[in-house]
Amino acid sequence: MSNTPANTGTLYLVSTPIGNLEDITLRALRVLKEVELIAAEDTRRTRRLLRHYQISRPLISYHDHNKEARSPSLLEKLNSGESLALVSDAGTPGISDPAFYLVRLAIQHGVPVVPVPGPSALISALIVSGLPPDRFAFEGFLPAKSGRRRRKLKALAGEERTILFFESPYRLKRTLEDILEIMGDRRATVARELTKKFEEVTRGTVTQLLEHYGEKKPRGEVVIVLTGYTA
């Protein structure tokens, strides 16, 4: 239980589009217009969004490299009654981005934290994958280093739920090769550039996906969705 001090501002976690700028809720637009300050992971990208919707509010950067230095002053503003919107690079704040650091601090200090739900690459990839979406394990980004990545995949080999990974396009082929070797030739989906002009969803076995991406070097943003283990 926590007590909220009187006159504390609210920390809004505002979801923003993962590509298509139309994917923003009416509530997100209202909150972005009403808060005193917007803390953004990528101020350039957020400025583009705000300009598109003719929203003009003060913007400050909040990202992985300054989250610890920046958080005390954001907390001070919240404590003095100012409300703040936290937006990530794209999608839902807190899903593989630095939002959690400020969320935990705000909760510890009794600041109300309010979600403004909207797009997330994770859920969009899951629902178009064609793989069972009712139970899933989200693993975020796999380790970039080969040894650690392969150990992680070994640990996940018996996972029965549908498994999702965020992945860089440069590592996609290597990760699919590791999955094939360690977890076997399962059905999988690669969801690339969702909601954008070159959206591409490729479904098949891991071998088929490797054939596809062996010929064609992928670009853009990628989610891998993998069938869980079946005996």
Contacting positions for ligand SAM (CB under 6 A): 18-19, 88-92, 95-97, 120-122, 166-167, 191-196, 221-223
Nearer to ligand SAM, 35 or 191 (CB): 191
Structure token digits, residue 92: 């839902």
Whichever of 139 and 221 has its CB closer to ligand SAM, that residue is: 221
Shortest Cβ contact with ligand SAM: which residue?
A: 91
Partners of residue 167 on adjacent β-strands: 222
Smallest gap from Cβ 76 to ligand SAM, in A, equals 26
Q: Which two tokens stand for residue 23?
A: 């994917």
Q: How far is the CB of 66 from ligand SAM (least distance, A)?
A: 16
| Nearest-approach distance from CB 80 to ligand SAM, in angstroms | 28
Task: Show the beta-strand stretches assigned E in the chain.
Answer: 11-14, 37-40, 59-61, 84-87, 113-116, 136-141, 162-167, 187-192, 200-205, 222-226
Shortest distance (Å) from residue 79 CB to ligand SAM? 26
Question: For every residue of 166-204, which 3-state class applies, written as one string?
Answer: EECCCCHHHHHHHHHHHHCCCEEEEEECCCCCCCEEEEE
> Encoding tokens for residue 81?
């009654």
CA gyration radius, the chain? 20
- Nearer to ligand SAM among residue 12 and residue 166 (C-beta): 166
Is beta strand 200-205 parallel, antiparallel or unpaired with respect to 187-192?
antiparallel
Q: Please, what is the minimum distance in Å from the beta carbon of residue 53 to ligand SAM?
A: 19
Q: Cβ closer to ligand SAM: 109 or 152?
A: 152
CB neighbour list of residue 183: distance below 8 Å, 6 or more residues apart: 153, 156, 157, 206, 226, 229
Nearer to ligand SAM, 84 or 99 (CB): 99
109 versus 173: smaller Cβ distance to ligand SAM: 173
Cβ nearer to ligand SAM, comparing 90 with 210: 90
11, 106 in Cβ contact below 8 A? yes
Cβ 192 to ligand SAM, closest distance in Å?
6
Q: How far is the CB of 35 from ligand SAM (least distance, A)?
A: 19
- Output the DSSP codes for 82-108: --EEEE-SSBSTTSSSTHHHHHHHHHH
